Amino acid sequence: MGKGGFSWKRATGVTKTKQNFYRKTGIPTTRSGRQRKAGSTMRCATFIILSILMIITLILAIL
C-alpha cells in the first residue's frame, strides 16, 4: 500500500477547501504553483509584446 498516515489537514477539511478554492478561482494555493503560473504568464506576455514590436517594425519599414 501507499505511504499513508494521519493528516490533520485532510481530517479538518483544509485540503478540500484549498482544492475547491483553486478550482473556482484558478489561483494556485501552493508557492510553487503560484511561481509556475506567474512564469507561464510572463512567457506569454513576452511573446505577445515581441510579436507586436515585430509587426510595428515591419509596418514602419514598409512606409
Name the band, by pLDDT with cuts 50, 70 and 90, for residue 63: confident
Residue 22 and residue 28 in contact, taking contact as beta carbons nearer than 8 Å: yes
Domain count within the chain: 1
Name the band, by pLDDT with cuts 50, 70 and 90, for residue 2: low
> Has residue 55 been placed in a domain?
yes
> Has residue 4 been placed in a domain?
no
CB burial string 41-52: b at 16+ within 10 A, e below: eeeeeeeeeeee
pTM confidence score: 0.53
Residue 15 and residue 9 in contact, taking contact as beta carbons nearer than 8 Å: yes
User: Average pLDDT of 40-62?
Assistant: 92
> Has residue 32 been placed in a domain?
yes
| Greatest CA separation for the chain | 70
> Has residue 1 been placed in a domain?
no
> Has residue 47 been placed in a domain?
yes
What is d(CA 36, CA 31) in angstroms, rounded to the nearest whole number? 9
pLDDT of residue 55 exceeding 90:
yes
Range of the domain at 53: 9-62
> Has residue 3 been placed in a domain?
no
In tens, the pLDDT along 6-43 reads: 888 888 999 899 999 999 998 888 899 989 988 888 98
> Has residue 17 been placed in a domain?
yes
